[in-house]
């Protein structure tokens, strides 16, 4: 047909090719990393012990046993994908905080309590998943959350380009959270946050958006009642061309990952002169969705894991100016979106507890996969799978 618009046909054909490639890879990788299949796409993960707490696009939060894949608890109530989760402890009791596309922040009780009135006491336990409160937090999607527990401060970032600060001192009272400050300087949605207390009244906050802008703020708590947090811009970084997807901060430097197909380590000390340059960017064939710098974990080793496309790469960054690619794994059949450290604890037949570090990856293929750290750091000549963790006997 002369003059016809063929763009849709071309897009459709390209999509068919992509779908077929993913179908083949799904078959090839179906057992890689002992996959745990989920009901929804994992959008955030927190790992405690051998359990993973997962925020899903299924509108739910799921607590999963990483050994067996069993769902231990399920939290329903959000009206959209759950994008971020955080935890705080009050008097030894753990409180779950979640943010969602439904623009709200919700507070949940996570306690497992015994019911003394049960005929089977003490064998029966009640999982108290009570929704404590709902806060209308943003005018668009809630994208990210971070907690400063020592100061009872929650910070949220949204697609509305706003960063909001919330008082957690009354988080268990059942009322919506109190807004105690906001930052409205970004011109694009907020994608990442990092925060750490500097004192009993100040916080250093990093905010990153989908344009690639990273800003550093000092938050200071006012003395007047009711208390409020004032923000002062300290620095701005523009080393990425497009959105920042992940950020990890140490006192001397930060690691950032971007859709611009790069990972960068940026020293935080002011340069001695204008000619001082940061270490070179680590380039990838596609956008980098997640990173895990082992140096900033309890492992404290100079290795960096990156997730770009469906591949996990391992770099030796003991010399930041000359990063070395150690190995790579075709980990999933769809994009890898999250990387987390799992300190796996098992009890042997001798009764001794053994501790071993693993990496957990999450993907748009609706799975979590588990990788023995030692094999990622010292890959065999031909990529092979880590053996499946043994299932616990019930």
Q: How confident is the model at residue 18 (pLDDT cuts 50, 70, 90)?
A: low
- pLDDT greater than 60 at residue 127: no
Q: Given this model, what pLDDT does residue 119 score?
A: 39
- For residue 65, the model assigns a pLDDT of 96
Is the pLDDT confidence value at 391 over 80? Answer: no
| Residue given tokens 């507070």 in the structure block | 107
Dump pLDDT digits (tens) for 294-308.
Answer: 999 999 999 999 999
Burial class from Cβ neighbours inside 10 Å (0-12, 13-18, 19+) for residue 125 reads middle
DSSP structure string for 48-72: ETTEEEEEETTSEEEEEETTT--EE
- Better-scored residue on pLDDT, 301 or 32: 301
pLDDT of residue 14: 58
pLDDT score recorded for residue 121:
38
- Confidence bin at 29 (pLDDT 50/70/90): confident
Return the higher-pLDDT residue of 247 and 130: 247
Sequence-distant (6+) residues with CB within 8 A of 54 are 38, 42, 44, 45, 61, 62, 63, 64, 362, 368
Domains in the chain: boundaries: 247-389
pLDDT score recorded for residue 125:
43
Please work out, in degrees rounded to the nearest 5, the angle formed at the alpha carbon of residue 202 by the alpha carbons of 87 and 212.
Answer: 70
> In 60-103, which ranges are E strands?
60-65, 71-76, 82-90, 93-100
Q: Which residues contact 163 (CB under 8 A, 6 or more apart)?
A: 155, 156, 157, 182, 183, 184, 186, 190, 193, 205, 207
Mean pLDDT of the chain: 88
pLDDT, average across residues 310-316: 97
pTM (predicted TM-score): 0.87
Q: In the predicted model, is pLDDT for residue 21 greater than 80?
A: no
Give percent of the chain with pLDDT exceeding 90. Answer: 74
CATH 3.20.20.100 is held by the domain 247-389: no
**Nearest alpha carbon to residue 326 among 340, 310, 312:** 312
Higher-pLDDT residue of 205 and 21 is 205
Whether residue 353 has pLDDT greater than 70: yes
Asked if 358 and 371 count as a contact pair (C-beta separation under 8 A), the reply is yes
181 has pLDDT over 60: yes
pLDDT in tens, 155-177: 999 999 999 999 999 898 999 99
Q: Quick one: which of 355, 354, 361, 359 has its CA closest to 375?
A: 359
CB distance 239 to 225 below 8 Å: no
Cis bond upstream, residue 244 (ω within 30): no
Q: What is the pLDDT of residue 16?
A: 62
Q: Which of 148-157, 275-284, 379-388 has the highest mean pLDDT?
A: 148-157
In 3D space, the residue among 201, 233, 241, 229 whose CA is nearest the CA of residue 217 turns out to be 233
Q: Which helix (H) or strand (E) holds 13?
A: helix 7-28
Task: Show contacts of 88-91: CB within 8 Å, 24+ apart.
Answer: 88/147, 88/149, 88/152, 88/168, 88/171, 89/149, 90/171, 90/172
Mean pLDDT along residues 254-262? 98
């Amino acid at each position: 047909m002369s003059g016809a618009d063929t763009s849709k046909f071309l897009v459709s054909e390209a999509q068919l090719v992509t779908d077929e490639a993913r179908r083949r890879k799904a078959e090839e990788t179906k057992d890689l990393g002992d996959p745990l299949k989920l009901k929804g796409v994992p959008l955030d993960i927190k790992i405690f012990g051998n359990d993973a707490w997962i925020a899903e696009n299924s509108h739910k939060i799921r607590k999963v046993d990483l050994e067996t894949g069993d769902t231990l608890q399920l939290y329903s109530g959000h009206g959209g994908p759950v994008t971020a989760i955080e935890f705080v402890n009050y008097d030894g009791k753990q409180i779950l905080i979640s943010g969602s596309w439904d623009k709200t922040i919700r507070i949940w009780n996570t306690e497992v309590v015994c019911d003394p009135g049960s005929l089977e006491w003490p064998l029966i336990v009640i999982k108290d998943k009570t929704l404590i409160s709902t806060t209308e937090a943003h005018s668009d999607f809630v994208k990210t959350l971070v907690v400063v527990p020592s100061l009872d401060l929650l910070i949220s970032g949204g697609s509305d380009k706003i960063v909001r600060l919330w008082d957690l001192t009354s988080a268990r009272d059942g009322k919506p959270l109190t807004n105690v400050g906001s930052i409205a300087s970004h011109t694009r949605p907020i994608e990442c946050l990092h925060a750490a207390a500097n004192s009993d009244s100040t916080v250093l906050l990093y905010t990153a958006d989908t344009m690639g802008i990273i800003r550093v703020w000092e938050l200071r708590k006012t003395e007047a009642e009711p208390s409020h947090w004032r923000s002062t811009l300290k620095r701005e970084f523009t080393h990425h061309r497009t959105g920042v997807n992940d950020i990890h901060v140490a006192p001397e430097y930060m690691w950032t990952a971007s859709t611009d197909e790069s990972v960068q380590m940026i020293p935080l000390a002011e340069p001695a002169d204008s000619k001082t340059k940061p270490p070179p960017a680590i380039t990838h064939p596609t956008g980098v969705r997640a990173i895990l710098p082992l140096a900033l974990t309890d492992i404290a080793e100079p290795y960096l894991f990156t997730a770009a496309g469906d591949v996990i790469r391992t770099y030796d960054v003991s010399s930041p100016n000359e990063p070395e690619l150690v190995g790579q794994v075709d980990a999933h059949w769809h994009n890898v979106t999250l990387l987390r450290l799992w300190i796996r604890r098992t009890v042997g037949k001798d009764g001794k507890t053994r501790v071993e570090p693993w990496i957990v990856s999450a993907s748009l293929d609706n799975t979590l996969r588990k990788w023995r750290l030692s094999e990622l750091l010292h890959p065999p000549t031909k990529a092979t799978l880590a053996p499946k963790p043994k299932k616990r006997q019930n």
